[in-house]
Amino acid sequence: MKRFIYTLALIFALGISFNSVQAADKPAKNPSELTAEQTVQLEKIKDRVEEIKAMDKSNLTSAERKALRKELKEMKNQARALSGGVYLSVGAIIIIILLLILIL
């Protein structure tokens, strides 16, 4: 059983190293450089967020508050997509942790 686990870990490690070698051949793209359109869109999102923060929310109905929260969540997702970056899902993190436990 132990030998089987080590064999699976070896195959997995070799598979990951092969993929990273292929990815290294591609030219690196700098995610921090935004196009003019993306910069304008990001500025619009920032302005709208500041506008919402400055609002007096005490006299809003619950439906209006819910709509504002939904709008803020959508803008947050758009800003993340524009800024780029690598995001790991919870499932991926759990799999990585389990593999590390099995290997060590």
Per run of 10 residues, the mean pLDDT along the chain (length 104 residues) is 82 63 49 74 89 88 92 87 71 85 85
Contacts of 82 (CB under 8 A, 6+ apart): 34, 38, 41, 42
pLDDT at 32: 58
1 lies in a domain? no
pLDDT at 37: 84
Q: Provide the residue range defining the domain that includes 44.
A: 36-104
25 lies in a domain? no
9 lies in a domain? no
The pTM of this model reads 0.47
pLDDT at 84: 67
Task: Name the domain count of the chain.
Answer: 1
72 lies in a domain? yes
93 lies in a domain? yes
* Most distant CA atoms of the chain, gap in Å: 66
